[in-house]
Copies of this chain bind each other. A is one copy, B any other.
Amino acid sequence: MASDHSLELYTLKAELCKSFADPRRQMLIDALRKGESTVGNLARALEIPQAVVSRHLAILRERGVASARREGTNVYYSLSDPKIGEACDMMHQILLGQVEKNKELAERLIA
């Protein structure tokens, strides 16, 4: 029935969001927006242990957010879809809106 399908869809959406729901993965996604990069380069640039970067990239890969391409001993990761970057921008805008609201609230409280 319809509600079952919906539940599946909601679950998929939730899992997609879950893949964004970690600070390190946010950093990785942001870094990958500038172009593909290797595990090692990301680890050095973001100052995150290699195993942690590899683990998080695997999560992004498993959820279809990132893609991997091997070249020699290196593995290059990239975002699977530019919309992923746009989604992060949207999160940013929502956060800005929240700050704005708090600012308004603060100003009203002071006045």
Residues of A within 8 A of B (CB): 3, 6-7, 9-18, 20-27, 30, 47, 64, 80-81, 83-84, 86-88, 90-95, 97-98, 101
Kindly report how many copies of this chain are found in the complex they form together. Answer: 2
Residues of B with C-beta under 8 A to A7: 23, 27
Tell me the interface secondary structure of chain A in the complex.
helix
| Given contacts A87-B90, A94-B83, A17 and B21 within 8 Å (CB-CB) | yes
Contact of A81 among B6, B14, B94 (CB under 8 A): B94
Q: How far is the CB of A60 from chain B (nearest CB, A)?
A: 12
Residues of B with C-beta under 8 A to A12: 95
Complex alpha-carbon distance, A18 and B21, angstroms: 5
